[in-house]
């Protein structure tokens, strides 16, 4: 997997174990509130109250609200990628791609198709208004796309995909289908759109398989 690229962050203070726990609690609380209410609908006092911390602690660890938003992007990305492992690290067969995408559809069904993608929701709200957040979100999607591309590259290196297959293009197409499908599933309260979108792209990838 390629080394993850993250947006520039201000240098963080050296933390004690207690400080790390406090910082993590703030980020986790902010992430939950921002997913529920949106970034614009979540204030520093909201986070203070929910996390049981002072404003000075938030500013000490993050500098300002934008610094906290950037930390939330990293947190949500780390959490979502961890949730999808170990499947995410072994996407080097058509069967593995289908299983990975099917499990994501099952998670949507279990949640009643509510909430949508945490990273996609942040992108929808921030991409056009916050350049630093857009950069962080682009890096987050790169981290998500990278294991898809790596799996397809391994398939091609083994001679399982023909010479016309472009792993980078196919990985982007699948990630786009995942994101678009999740959004439609959220709006329609059904995972059908998601499942149709990812199945269509994986079927296309399968058309490059050497028989």
**What DSSP line would sit under 78-93, residue for residue?**
HHHHHHTTTGGGG--S
111-163 pLDDT, tens digit per residue, is: 999 988 999 999 999 999 999 999 999 999 999 999 999 999 999 999 999 99
Report the alpha-carbon distance of residue 152 to residue 162 in Å, rounded: 11
Task: Tell me the CATH number of domain 17-206, given options 2.30.290.10, 3.40.50.280, 1.10.357.10, 1.10.760.10.
Answer: 1.10.357.10
- What pLDDT, on the 0 to 100 scale, is given for residue 92? 97
Report the alpha-carbon distance of residue 5 to residue 134 in Å, rounded: 13
- 26-42: average pLDDT: 95
Average pLDDT, the chain: 92
89-111 pLDDT, tens digit per residue, is: 999 999 999 999 999 999 999 99
Report the alpha-carbon distance of residue 65 to residue 2 in Å, rounded: 30
Instruction: Give the model's confidence band at 40: pLDDT under 50 very low, under 70 low, under 90 confident, else very high.
Output: very high
- 66-77: average pLDDT: 95
- 69-93: average pLDDT: 94
Instruction: Give the model's confidence band at 14: pLDDT under 50 very low, under 70 low, under 90 confident, else very high.
Output: confident
**Token digits of residue 75:** 């947190």
**Token digits of residue 211:** 């028989």
Locate the domains of the chain by residue range: 17-206
Backbone angles phi, psi at 12, to 5 degrees: -85, 145
Instruction: Give the model's confidence band at 36: pLDDT under 50 very low, under 70 low, under 90 confident, else very high.
Output: very high
Instruction: Give the model's confidence band at 17: pLDDT under 50 very low, under 70 low, under 90 confident, else very high.
Output: confident
Report the alpha-carbon distance of residue 149 to residue 69 in Å, rounded: 28
């Amino acid at each position: 997997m390629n080394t993850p690229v993250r947006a520039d962050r201000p240098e963080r203070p050296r933390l004690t174990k207690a400080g790390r726990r406090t910082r993590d609690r703030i980020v986790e609380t902010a992430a939950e509130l921002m997913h529920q209410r949106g970034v614009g609908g979540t204030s520093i006092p909201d986070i203070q109250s929910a996390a049981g911390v002072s404003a000075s602690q938030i500013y000490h660890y993050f500098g300002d609200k934008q610094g906290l938003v950037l930390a939330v992007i990293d947190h949500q990305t780390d959490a979502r990628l961890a949730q999808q492992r170990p499947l995410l690290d072994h996407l080097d067969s058509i069967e593995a791609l289908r299983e990975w995408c099917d499990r994501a559809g099952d998670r949507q069904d279990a949640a009643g198709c509510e909430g949508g993608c945490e990273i996609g929701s942040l992108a929808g709200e921030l991409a056009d208004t916050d350049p630093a957040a857009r950069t962080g979100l682009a890096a987050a999607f790169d981290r998500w796309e990278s294991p898809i591309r790596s799996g397809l590259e391994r398939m091609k290196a083994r001679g399982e995909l023909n010479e016309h297959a472009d792993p980078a293009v196919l990985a982007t197409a699948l990630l786009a289908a995942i994101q678009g499908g999740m959004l439609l599933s959220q709006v329609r309260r059904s995972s059908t759109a998601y499942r149709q979108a990812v199945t269509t792209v994986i079927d296309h990838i399968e058309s490059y398989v050497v028989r």
